[in-house]
Amino acid sequence: ITNDLYREGMMYYGKTHRHPNSTFAYTTSSLMELMSWDATDNIELIDQPLLMMAGSKADSLYMSQEAFQKATGTQDKELFLVDGATHIQTYYQPQYVNQFVAKLQDFYGAHL
């Protein structure tokens, strides 16, 4: 699989971090809901400080960038990128997770 998201996702969810009771299968209803759901629906209603985070090499980065642009209800927003990280690597690799945690500490320290 040449796509990082799917190749790494198969390893992460299917082998290295798979819950022993997981069937790795979708139900018909959950798959249809997943396919029709749009995380950016009503995102313009967010009027609080907003922090979005992604890896710079994430196949899903374009989704974060699109959501960031659509979040027009707040001017206090930031898209934080971790250089070199793919989508799945941001879940568990310490060199990336530690950067996200540090950013969250700064963000919450400033806004809570």
pLDDT score at 40: 95
**Is the distance from CB of 55 to CB of 90 less than 8 angstroms?**
yes
pLDDT tens-digit profile of 72-97? Answer: 999 999 999 999 999 999 999 999 99
Per the DSSP assignment, residues forming a β-bridge with 79 are 52
What would you report as the CA-atom Rg of the chain, rounded to the nearest whole angstrom? 16
Task: Give the Cα separation of 51 and 74 in Å (integer).
Answer: 11
Whole-number pLDDT of residue 23:
75
How many domains are contained in the chain? 1
**pLDDT for the residue 70:** 98
Residue 29, pLDDT score: 65
pLDDT for 27 equals: 62
The answer to whether the CB of 110 falls within 8 A of the CB of 78 is no
Q: Which residues of the chain have pLDDT under 50?
A: none
Give yes or no for a contact between 79 and 52, defined as CB atoms under 8 angstroms apart: yes
Give bridge partners of residue 51 from the DSSP assignment.
Answer: 78
Phi/psi at 78 (5° precision): -150, 140
